Chains A and B, each alone.
Chain A
Amino acid sequence: MKLSRRSFTAGLGAAGAASLLKPSMSLAARPDELNILCWEGYNTDDVLGPFRDLNPGATVRAESGTSDPDMINKLRAGEVNVWDLINLNQPWARGQLYPAGLIKPLDKERFMPFFEKMTPEYGNPPYPLAFAEDEELIGMPQRYGPFSFVVNTDKISREMAEDMGWKLFLEPDMADRFGILTYDNWNIMHMCLTADLNPFESLDEAGFTAFEDTAAKIFAGAKLMSDDLVAMNTALINGEIDAYFTGGTYTASPARLDGMTQIRGITPKSGPIDGKGGVVWAELTSLVNNPDPSPLAADFLEFVQKPEIAKAVGFAEGTYNPVAQMGDPDVFAMWDSDELDAIQWDSLEEESANSVEYDEVADYDKLMEIYTVLRRG
């Protein structure tokens, strides 16, 4: 066939137009493809490399998100066709993704046995929040961590911070001495706790007023706000601030592994939810409800339960976190003493015991409105 310039251009145009009309054509070879949308860690070579070696010929891609809602937006915007696995903090999976049909249940027979090797908080009984209200298993837990606030223990002692709890941030002499790590959904939860409210139950008018007063005080006292944990740790290390509102193992661990062990995540000893004032998060990795699913998705979920891979996920670059699989002695043996110190292993059990599970905030929309208005100043 003789290819003239004109027919080539026409062909090119047609190919371009076809790609616009039928984007799913590019996804034809699904058995050889796996796309993972995750928090940092699952996308590193230490995790993906060995999986690629096990599945030569498969194209394995992982993209890291910057926040839970950002990743949910991708699925809502039609990318359920693209992704096979999503890794998110658990309330979003239960509260938003499963009810919206964006993720699907896991095979219980295949995955339930893994709970037996997990730490007691996650394995015995199997982590209740990994199950939807219809009792389907909707994701596997791995990384977790207490998440309340962080102090520089050279300036504020651990005991004092734990005893005072959230009220520390209302002290007049703390004004201009703390920052706010603006993970908005977490700030809202923590401001409720500071106001002695339970964020996971509906609030009455008095509750909203208390939230508003407390949030206003905290915003007024903050020296800086940032959604960047490195900026917050830097300010804490150089003495710009002595504490930051919203933070925990996840944010303090990078500084601690660098030897700055005075930076410490704090869990209040008491609080308004059955006497507890801390919050603990756990991630769930779930199967996306892809209309053209990849069989590699469930394989990968099983693969990350292996000791060396569980360690790689927990100790990815950026942040360091305990994993539920550390209940297995083989997994635990992978951590050295500095690494255990970075994730505050010494107080982890106690901190988890003083924390409640991160859950959906009951009046999130209304509180978010109050929060954004006050933050604007």
Chain B
Amino acid sequence: MQRRERNLGLLYSAPLTIFLFLAFLAPICLVAAFSAMPEKVFSLTQMPDFSAYRTVLEQGYWKSVAWSLFMAFVATLILLVICWPLAFGMAKVFKRFTLVLTIGVVMTLFVSENIRLFGWVLTLMKGGLIEGYWRHWTGVGFDAPLYNGPIIVFGLVYVYLPFMLFPLAQGIAMVPDDARQSAYDLGATRWQILKEIDLPLAMPGIMVGSLLTFVLAAGAMAESKLLGGRAIITIADEVQTAFTYGQNWPLGSALAMVLIAIIGTVAIWAISKADLDKMMGRKA
């Protein structure tokens, strides 16, 4: 009986499994296969020689990988700090205003990322909204804060804010008020409550939010292209160049595989470190 049930389970899940395989795993397998091909070929019928990976190592692509990961890490940290009070307010304080805030943040997602970033360019550029008015009123102009590394991180923070905010608010909502109040009654300071109660109990939200933002930011390129004036070339940009102007699909695939491997390792490591089930109280 039990065996039959298990078989039924497999059968029931088969359509979804097949769909996931075709839609999700197959493209990655294709990229993996291409990455092993000799450079500059456009079919999978060649003998694999992994030469694209050698090119990745020899031609300094690690710089772009390192920059992308570093900027994603910094953006995630900044987002965590910015979003914590906001998420706390949404989960515990704002009540009805939470809905307004949610709609406000979600609305930004209705507009394409490129258009929103270009809006920032028009705001920040020389003669733009800020500098233009400033010069009009004071007669003194200043250089636009565009085309450098920090502005790219700003762009990442701006674009990926919702991806940190909502999981974090969800996480904080899971912290029982009773636990916080008991801690106060027992004489805990605000800092102790944050450290001993809020952070550990909201950890699932923190983990999910951080992973989402880090993974998305590591693969981003529009921020560097539009706001940063390509002052830093991201790894996603390198992948695009290899596939298009380089006409070198194996090199693009190898670069993509390197990014997938690094991000995958980080994600799996983080998820295994933080046992979500345990934190959510489903296991003893």
B-contacting residues of A (Cβ < 8 Å)? Answer: 13, 20, 67, 69-70, 72-73, 76, 96, 179, 182, 184-185, 223-228, 231, 234-235, 238-240, 365, 368-369, 372-373, 375-377
Chain B nearest CB, measured from A298 CB (Å): 27
User: Which chain A residue shows the least CB distance to B60?
Assistant: A373
Sort A-B residue pairs by CB-CB distance and give the 9 closest, nearest first. Answer: A224-B229, A238-B127, A225-B230, A184-B245, A69-B244, A224-B147, A240-B126, A76-B42, A376-B233
Chain A positions within 8 Å of B233 at CB level: 375-377
Let me know if A372 and B125 touch, CB within 8 A. Answer: no
Determine whether B243 belongs to the interface, using a CB cutoff of 8 Å to chain A: yes
Smallest CB separation, A13 vs chain B (Å) = 8
Residue pair B244, A67 in contact (C-beta under 8 Å) = yes
The minimal Cβ–Cβ distance linking A124 to chain B, given in whole angstroms, is 34
Chain A residues with Cβ below 8 Å from B144 are 240
How many interface residues does chain B have, given as a range?
A: 20 to 34
Apart from A223-B147, A226-B226, A226-B229, what are 4 other A-B pairs with CB-CB below 8 Å?
Answer: A20-B22, A67-B244, A372-B59, A377-B63
Inter-chain contact B125/A240, CB cutoff 8 Å: yes
Give how many A-B residue pairs fall within 8 Å (CB-CB).
Answer: 76
Give the distance in Å from the alpha carbon of A76 to the alpha carbon of B40 in the complex. 12
Q: Do the beta carbons of B59 and A73 come within 8 Å of each other?
A: no
Distance in Å from the Cβ of B246 to the closest Cβ of chain A? 6
- Tell me whether B128 is interfacial, beta carbon within 8 Å: yes
Does the CB pair B245–A67 fall under 8 Å? yes
CA distance A214 to B19 in the complex (A): 51
**Contact, CB under 8 Å: A224 / B238:** no
A-B contact pairs, 30 of them (CB 8 A): A69-B244, A69-B245, A73-B243, A96-B247, A179-B229, A182-B230, A185-B245, A223-B229, A224-B146, A224-B147, A224-B230, A225-B229, A226-B229, A228-B225, A228-B226, A231-B226, A234-B125, A235-B125, A238-B127, A238-B128, A240-B126, A365-B248, A368-B245, A372-B59, A372-B238, A372-B241, A373-B59, A373-B60, A375-B230, A376-B61
Residues of A within 8 A of B128 (CB): 238
* Cβ 8 A contact of A227, one of B118, B147, B225, B247: B225
The CA of A182 and the CA of B230, in the complex, are separated in Å by 9
Residues from chain A with a CB closer than 8 A to the CB of B247 are 69, 72, 96
Min CB–CB distance A17 → chain B (angstroms): 10
